[in-house]
Structure 1
Amino acid sequence: MAHAKSRSKKTILRSVLALGLVLGCVNAVKREDFKTCSQSGFCTRNRAYADMAKEDPKWASPFQLNPSSLRLKEGILTGDLFNTQESQQPASSAGLGFELHLLDNDVVRVRVNERDPIHPRYDGVQDTVLIKPYGFATEANIERLQKDDNGILTIQYGPNNRNTVRISSAPFKVEFLVNGVPTVLLNNDGLLRFERLRNKDDGVLGENKLVDQASEEGEGEIETQVEKSPLELKLEENSWEERFKEFTDSKPRGPESFGMDITFSGINHVYGIPEHATSLSLKATRGTGAPYSEPYRLYNLDVFEYEIDNPMALYGSIPFMLGHSKNNTAAVFWMNAAETWIDVEKSATDNNSGLLSWIKGKKPVQAASTKTHWISESGVLDVFVFLGPTQRDIFRQYSSLVGTTVMPQAFSIAYHQCRWNYNTQQDVAEVDAGFDEHDIPYDVLWLDIEHTNGKRYFTWDEAKFPNPADMQQGLANKGRKMVTIIDPHIKMDSGYHVSQQGADLDVYIKNKDGTSNFDGWCWPGSSQWIDFYNPKARDWWASLFKYETYVGSTKSLFTWNDMNEPSVFTGPEITIPKDVIHYGNVEHRNVHNLYGTMFHSATAQGLTERNETNQRPFVLSRAFFAGTQRYGAIWTGDNVASWEHLEIASPMLLTIGLSGVAFSGADVGGFFGNPEPELLTRWYQAGIYYPFFRAHAHLDSKRREPWLFGEPYTSQIREAIRTRYAYLPLWYTLFHEASIDGMPIIRPMFTVFPEDEAVFGMDDQYMVGDALLVKPVVKPGVTQSTVYFAGTEKWFDIKSFSVQQGPGAKEVDSPADRIPVYQRAGTIVPKRERIRRSSKAMENDPFTLVIALDSKGEASGKLYLDDGETFNYQHGDYILREFKVSTGTLSSRSLKPTTEPEASDFMQHKAGLRIERIVVLGLAAPLKQVRVADREIEVGCAQAAQGGHYVCTVKEPRVNIGKDFDLSFV
């Protein structure tokens, strides 16, 4: 009876917690549910170590590299690393192994691991994150290798030997120099700390608890206890079992954290390490005047209604940081999927730079720097260093390791309509008809958890959705798709086929005992979680998407992976306990931040394998890590219908894009709450320039389909969405670029104008590719906006064609029906201006080229085109064109390598689609004549309302989008 009573209380507690998560959503985030650094033992210990170093003017790292142990062979330098302060050694005292990998793409990898630990430290992140084995630099790439008498080893590498890595032995330090100037420094401040695995009674490594002193009588030595300082006591805090609120982390292997400082020398702006609701240029967390007192935390968590301007952890984690100055660009990737904290400290001067930087007026000042301190709970120290030299080089190098954005289906970059929940099949039909009635295009309608039979995924509520296949076909007839939600928690129910199959295959995450299945609470109630580290689990999960298994699904149905941090209502910090066990006896603490990506990957595999139609998958994920971009899109989670959340969406998405995940968006309108009409309209106007464009709303939010607020809002939202559809050829071309070289799709201003210091911290405006400048309106009642026009060329308003001249900030109109968007002089943008009900309905429509001439009368742009659906593009079935204007001639040429096979008949048909209009901006005088071959083409010109330039439109030039041509302007 006592057991039954206890079970009843537990069930009631779970029900209350789950209900609170649903009904309590209207409240602000409960910060007390999530740890601060002071509540995290390993963060506290490593931060205390940093404080000790800072307080000691004679501090030097206790780690030393044995110079005689260094060996360089086939691109890998190895050596022995020791902590000279370790007074107590574990059972095996072989020290640490140091490795430096010189990669053939001019990237350097630095690793530190225990030589012979009592338990193997987890080192499997690389098997999931890195896309393939990389090549090593050859002797030809390493021109100079020197070692001096002080044990300092120097290696030059990279293009023209511009890069140097310098390894100091005592104290241990690794410096990366560009053209002789220190740029990235590892352990420069001596904060390397490595908690080696040990038995619980071995004491604390590196801490001298006893000292020897001579007795007063001179009769030998006695041991005397030394009183420890508060900081020294913190070095032992929560080393083993650790409690947070009512939860206990058993930590069976004890403390195993490590930390190290990384300095960006001569660089004052650093970016990256998403996901946080904060500025693009990362704010300081330490030092005088630091805006934050907490480190940035990377630990995937379900933090609904998250606060803005806060370094709290959110749904995703990517430990990639990029630093940029006028003179240098560099980046690091800290490859670790355990909980990680990062301190940032800005320094006005940098004694490591060795050079003076110059500010306006040629006044010499010491270059600024940024010091960062990285702390991870477990695993091995594994960091990649990228020196560019350009940002594009860094994106290419980084993506060569972790992968590029997968080329999406064309429909997925159009407009998505979602809420929790469209209630019935009739509701779906009425919403779909509403878009047609109000002449608003859309491509995808989404269903949240209420479409299932009692939160059992891969099922339908037959009373509400009696004919799901017919429902999907009705959408497909208009070129539209459907997305349903599928989460990683599986309802415990022996009558539920997915639950029972998972139990029979033994593919659920285990409790800390390693034998019983972990049981937590989520939307279905008592649930179990798929262990995607088990290969058997991944293949089984993928098989569930087959049409005969997922009954009611069709080829126009795609997938939304939510709650995959994973979110566990009854777990510590609303997630899964760290000491549960994955396949291979791996503790969850080692792989937490990768769990969502593993789920994402298995789902994408299922959608790819479900049929023989060669379809690309579309899967949206909430949790993410480095490499997520290989599987689909992500979004910024459960935001709020507020102006502040609209404002923070831009820097969040820019940061995520810089970190390798190009396909991202924020819920348009805000998930929680009810946006007033002006806010909703402004959010649509901003959202059409997110790579992933979806409106979404909470269960308790009022319905807000685009036509429900009446005029003028319906017309303003319609015009915004139609603008997105007009620019789909540009978006698709940018996705292709991202899939090739890892370039972000929406780009911070500093990536396009890397020498303009005025834009280094700018995140309230950004670029779409290199062509469009976007300035969202994020305050109510605004009709004038301050826009910074970088560079020395002109910028053309995409609606009125009025001109602004850079550089400098200008006040421009931002009326209620549009936000400021400008096309940059020197660019050519492809469009489709016949807007139909869906992107599929537009796929055979003609094109428009908008040419913005620069001061030399030149411009260029690209267009990528494939079938928008299959993988045939991987076999050469695509069109890639470059358009150029030079010396009065517009030319079109293929950029497709000659080694690629000829396009199929289908793509030859696409190549025959015509260009129906060419719009030329920036002309000093109207065009008199336009000719193609021997034909003269009709042209009409008018002077722009502002700027004094002429806008000329060439109608029906009778040239094809995929064929070579030369069109002359006179």
Structure 2
Amino acid sequence: MKVTDFILTVFCPILFFSIGVNSVDRHNFKTCEQSNFCKRCRSMNKSQNSMFHLVSDSIILNDKYLEAIIANTNYENVFLRMRLDGLKDKTLRVRINENGNPMYNRFQPVHALVSEPIFQSMTMARNETTIELELEQSTIKVFINIIPFKLNVYVHDELIIGINHNNLMQFEHYRPKPETIPDNEVGSWEEFFKEHQDSKPRGPSAVSMDFTLYSSTHLYGLPEHADSFYLKETSGSDPYRFYNLDVFEYELYNTMALYGAVPFLMGHGKKNSVGLFWLNAAETWVDIAGVNNNVDHTSVVESIVNLVSGSSGEKEVPQAHFMSESGIIDFFIMLGPKPMDVTRQYSLLTGTAPLPPIFSLAYHQCRWNYNDQKDVHNVETNFDVYDIPMDVMWLDIEHTDSKKYFTWDPIKFSNPIEMIRNLTNKGRKLVTIVDPHIKRDSNYFLHNDALNNDLYVKNKDGNVYEGWCWPGSSSYLDFLNPKVQEYYVSRFSFNNYVGSNEDLYIWNDMNEPSVFNGPEVTMPKDCIHYGNYEHRDIHNIYGLMQVMSTYEGLIKRSKGNKRPFILTRSHFAGTQRFAAVWTGDNIAEWSHLKISIPMCLSLAISGISFCGADVGGFFNNPDKELFIRWYQTGTYLPFFRGHSHIDTKRREPWLFDEQTTSLVRETIRTRYSLLPLWYTLFRNHELTGAPVIRPLFFEFPFEDNVNNIDNQFMIGNSLLVCPVTEPNVQEISIYFPGKDEVWYDKDNFQPIKINGFVKIPVPINKIPVYQRGGTIIPIKQRVRRSSSLMKDDPYTLMVGIDLKGTAKGSLYIDDEDSFEYRDGKFIHLEYEFINNQLISKCIHCITLTTNSWLEKVMIIGIPSVFSKASIHSKEGSTTELTVLYSASNQVLTIRKPSINIAQNWTIILL
């Protein structure tokens, strides 16, 4: 939501015309030069000698890990403890912390990890200068240089990644404040930004490390930034910044921090991919250098010489320099070798999204704010009048009683249960907003509970912290406190959240946390959390902690039966286990439509597949062309929600002209027809970590031409999508990857067999979407007003054959909203077309039945004319089928096989 709306209205309305509110004010947010620890870490010289050495006689290898002491040669008697773990599935972990009993505990955001990683045994050999570790049957080797401390990681004797090769490691140990601050520590003990003071009572505590990705040519990831999908050099700009902030109307193509921080980076090269996960919740900056250069890989012998001598071989290769204000050095290296392997390895650490209820994959309608119950009723009724499917209505802050969460406006929303039931009678749901700021009102039960039970974050003096947000004077729940977590979970019970039921779901917004009068519109860093941690230590994980409690609250209210749905703005590594994410307060401009694709792709490869953008743009008013094109794009992103600001014109799909209504109706109906595919892909993501949407190089990792493409993407392995994201365009160039591939236009089934760019006409009704040859896509062609009403409807199989005349696909079915699928109550089918036969095989069909049946099969790209077909069921029966062949596009249609979808059967073309 828009911070200036509150500030300008409440504090200084006279300044409205002089300030301007059409773009982000950069002066409200720090640069690296204004962030003292970033400036210190970035000023380190690559040519300097490393200050960190291993203590030779401290090196120990036990059954699980290697441990050693690191000496800081700049300080006498300052030691660190290093631990290196070999983990399951080609993954390494390195942790470096202060040795002994430091003055203050350093925060470790273990909440991001789904469980304790599984160890892999290692063997060790060493000499006076180097330690050699081997794991995974000697395919992975780690060479550790003792003086100075450096690491090299090899796979099959090829150097993949080097650690501290540029001598940029830093670990500022806690120490008493000196009577006289030395020149190199000015700003380390107190820092000012605009009118705000950061008292920094604990002094400098920064950590940093540099990584050289020798086997990579391109780097990706590091969400959330409104930038290109592929990472760019930062030598002439600020580093990429991780500091969750409320940045409305954000600028594009820069490295400024936004709402989320997922410190995951993927390197990709001609032969392999590698992942790097920097587990730190404090403010972090990441410098990138050496990208997009093709280099020869360094040999084992040469790199060991370089490791000992401190030389990197003077070759320009991709490099990343992570710099965090506090915490420990804790990073994971995932060794692939393919992009999909890296995401699997990362998902073993941070988890995958649980299969969402199917309604959440359908269309959502939101606005700040629908005025009252009558307004909600009129909007959802008009979706039926205009024959546009819709599953979820959303309510923003105005639905509450004076901005007090878990309440309802007593006049405008006097009977919420009735309102929800009117929706659920049509198969629809309701989402309400619940933010972390709590109104300081003595008549508000939640505020009183928080005061009486010590649930709030404290300021630096130990008193309850008070800031300003939508309700005015507010305090903030301390979600690090187990007592707060338990209390917050209880708020979602039906008895406590009066007016809610199991068909109401939750939106956690403003949870960076947003503080309108705070430094950089957030909480001061010297506030104190449970465990005596400063806010600077935990900032980027605050939103995740709220979402975790919300998720547990929704689980407990249904006694574990119903799958939650939550949307969050703030996010961190691991958020995917609890919530969907959207790209925040965007603008109704073509550039913001375009940037939504690389933003969601970056999140998807970093574990968060369930991503979308406010369709139509949150701020300002889209014209009809932008409105149509945005709906066409949103149809093919995982989270699909129309949303707009309180000051914008109403823009429900029927409020434009007839053409706009028709085209928006068509694209939303397309989304509903594809729900079986989306649902199957999300189940596969839960099991394997595979991104639901993915960049082209995930499917074509050895094709160099796809590495810089971020206006196209794949849905699973089967659909290629290239939305139109520019105005007044009559045709666009689309890159078709793969030398031995065929792609079928989703609209007319015409094949494209070219590997390269092809110009495609894109009239206003055209969404360039292509089915990959060799895939089978399940769809439902009977689109109804909501997804739940389609549950037992029949399926159609779209069989796009490859150049060899074959195709494969799958279908997943369950009850669509409970956790019973985890007890085996689901249907999993695999399909294969080979030798002119379509074979259905039940992989798991014994614990759940379905009334859905097979309505149609369309075989695309089949060159021969077949006059008939027969279907053979598992019981041994044979039924003759009628076929229709179109020679113009080589599509064979088999109508009404009329067999239950959850069976083994074979259709034979005759």
- Alignment partners' CA distance in 1, 2:128 and 2:562: 61
Matched, 1:635 2:635: no
- Alignment partners' CA distance in 2, 1:577 and 1:507: 18
Encode CA deviations 1:895-929: one digit per residue, 9 max, x unaligned: 33xxxx941xxx31x1x421100000011122232
**Residue number among 788, 791, 797 corresponding to 2:745 in the alignment:** 797
Shift of residue 534, structure 1, vs aligned partner: 0.8
Residues 928-937 or 543-552, more deviating: 928-937
**Residue number among 593, 596, 603 corresponding to 1:646 in the alignment:** 593
Matched, 1:969 2:909: yes
CA contact (8 A) 2:157 2:300 kept: no
Corresponding position of 2:841: 893
User: CA distance change for structure 1 residues 14 and 175 in 2, over 3 Å: closer, same or farther?
Assistant: farther
- Alignment partners' CA distance in 1, 2:12 and 2:830: 57
Shift of residue 656, structure 1, vs aligned partner: 0.6
Shift of residue 85, structure 1, vs aligned partner: 3.0
Matched, 1:148 2:127: yes
Corresponding position of 2:804: 856
1:124-203 aligned at under 5 Å gives the runs: 124-126=108-110, 128-138=111-121, 142=122, 145-150=124-129, 152-158=130-136, 160-201=137-178
Shift of residue 397, structure 1, vs aligned partner: 1.4
* Unpaired runs of at least 5, structure 2: 1-5, 302-312, 873-877
Give the number of equivalent residue pairs: 887
Corresponding position of 1:294: 238
Shift of residue 366, structure 1, vs aligned partner: 11
Corresponding position of 1:72: 61
Q: What is the SS of the residue equivalent to 2:805?
A: coil
Shift of residue 117, structure 1, vs aligned partner: 4.7
User: CA distance change for structure 1 residues 182 and 246 in 2, over 3 Å: closer, same or farther?
Assistant: same
Structure 1 letter corresponding to 2:438: I
Corresponding position of 1:227: none
Matched, 1:525 2:472: yes
Encode CA deviations 1:330-382: one digit per residue, 9 max, x unaligned: 011000000000000016475863499xxxxxxxx998620111100001000
- Alignment partners' CA distance in 1, 2:18 and 2:638: 31
Q: What is the SS of the residue equivalent to 2:57?
A: helix
Shift of residue 599, structure 1, vs aligned partner: 0.5
CA contact (8 A) 1:418 1:697 kept: yes
**Residue number among 28, 34, 43 corresponding to 1:39 in the alignment:** 34
Q: What is the SS of the residue equivalent to 1:884?
A: strand
User: CA distance change for structure 1 residues 21 and 250 in 2, over 3 Å: closer, same or farther?
Assistant: farther
User: CA distance change for structure 1 residues 18 and 805 in 2, over 3 Å: closer, same or farther?
Assistant: farther
Matched, 1:915 2:854: yes
Shift of residue 741, structure 1, vs aligned partner: 1.5
CA contact (8 A) 2:603 2:609 kept: yes
1:718-757 aligned at under 5 Å gives the runs: 718-757=665-704
* TM-score normalised by L of structure 1: 0.89
CA contact (8 A) 2:107 2:538 kept: no
Encode CA deviations 1:556-576: one digit per residue, 9 max, x unaligned: 111100000000001000000
Shift of residue 551, structure 1, vs aligned partner: 1.2
Residues 920-929 or 719-728, more deviating: 920-929
Q: What is the SS of the residue equivalent to 1:393?
A: helix
Larger gyration radius, structure 1 or structure 2: 1
Corresponding position of 1:374: 322
1:352-501 aligned at under 5 Å gives the runs: 353-354=298-299, 369-501=317-449
1:325-340 aligned at under 5 Å gives the runs: 325-340=269-284
User: CA distance change for structure 1 residues 504 and 841 in 2, over 3 Å: closer, same or farther?
Assistant: same
Shift of residue 549, structure 1, vs aligned partner: 1.3
Structure 2 letter corresponding to 1:842: M
Structure 1 letter corresponding to 2:482: P
Encode CA deviations 1:860-919: one digit per residue, 9 max, x unaligned: 0111111111110110011111111122221111333xxxx941xxx31x1x42110000
Matched, 1:959 2:899: yes
Structure 2 letter corresponding to 1:827: T
- Alignment partners' CA distance in 2, 1:355 and 1:769: 37
- Alignment partners' CA distance in 2, 1:379 and 1:12: 33
Structure 1 letter corresponding to 2:623: E
Matched, 1:272 2:253: no
Corresponding position of 1:27: 22
1:196-215 aligned at under 5 Å gives the runs: 196-201=173-178
- Alignment partners' CA distance in 2, 1:147 and 1:18: 70
- Alignment partners' CA distance in 2, 1:198 and 1:373: 25
- Alignment partners' CA distance in 1, 2:648 and 2:493: 34
**Residue number among 616, 621, 628 corresponding to 1:681 in the alignment:** 628
% same residue: 45
CA contact (8 A) 1:336 1:380 kept: yes
Shift of residue 429, structure 1, vs aligned partner: 0.9
Shift of residue 675, structure 1, vs aligned partner: 0.3
Encode CA deviations 1:629-667: one digit per residue, 9 max, x unaligned: 111101010000000000100000000111111111100
Corresponding position of 2:263: 319
1:529-608 aligned at under 5 Å gives the runs: 529-608=476-555
Structure 2 letter corresponding to 1:525: G
Shift of residue 785, structure 1, vs aligned partner: 1.3
Task: Indicate the RMSD between aligned Cα atoms, in angstroms.
Answer: 2.1
- Alignment partners' CA distance in 2, 1:273 and 1:117: 33
CA contact (8 A) 1:25 1:672 kept: no
Structure 1 letter corresponding to 2:904: D
Shift of residue 20, structure 1, vs aligned partner: 8.2
- Alignment partners' CA distance in 1, 2:20 and 2:471: 18
CA contact (8 A) 2:402 2:409 kept: yes
Shift of residue 148, structure 1, vs aligned partner: 2.7
Matched, 1:115 2:99: yes
Shift of residue 497, structure 1, vs aligned partner: 1.1
Shift of residue 959, structure 1, vs aligned partner: 2.4
Corresponding position of 2:646: 699
Shift of residue 24, structure 1, vs aligned partner: 7.4
Encode CA deviations 1:57-116: one digit per residue, 9 max, x unaligned: xx3322111232211101210111112233xx4xxx251111101113321100111102
Structure 1 letter corresponding to 2:857: I
Q: What is the SS of the residue equivalent to 1:44?
A: helix
Corresponding position of 2:787: 839
Shift of residue 21, structure 1, vs aligned partner: 10
Corresponding position of 1:229: none
Residues 760-769 or 885-894, more deviating: 885-894
Corresponding position of 1:281: 230
* TM-score normalised by L of structure 2: 0.95
Corresponding position of 2:875: none
- Alignment partners' CA distance in 2, 1:318 and 1:466: 40
Shift of residue 612, structure 1, vs aligned partner: 3.7
Shift of residue 708, structure 1, vs aligned partner: 0.7
Matched, 1:105 2:89: yes
Matched, 1:15 2:4: no
Residues 957-966 or 427-436, more deviating: 957-966
Shift of residue 711, structure 1, vs aligned partner: 2.0
Structure 1 letter corresponding to 2:143: R
- Alignment partners' CA distance in 2, 1:675 and 1:201: 58
CA contact (8 A) 1:444 1:481 kept: yes
Shift of residue 22, structure 1, vs aligned partner: 13
Shift of residue 393, structure 1, vs aligned partner: 1.8
Shift of residue 450, structure 1, vs aligned partner: 0.6
Encode CA deviations 1:143-192: one digit per residue, 9 max, x unaligned: x5321342x1112222x532211111111111111211111111011111
Residues 12-21 or 824-833, more deviating: 12-21
Corresponding position of 2:290: 346
- Alignment partners' CA distance in 2, 1:380 and 1:342: 16
Matched, 1:764 2:711: yes
Shift of residue 943, structure 1, vs aligned partner: 2.1
- Alignment partners' CA distance in 1, 2:809 and 2:212: 38
Structure 2 letter corresponding to 1:560: W
- Alignment partners' CA distance in 2, 1:673 and 1:349: 43
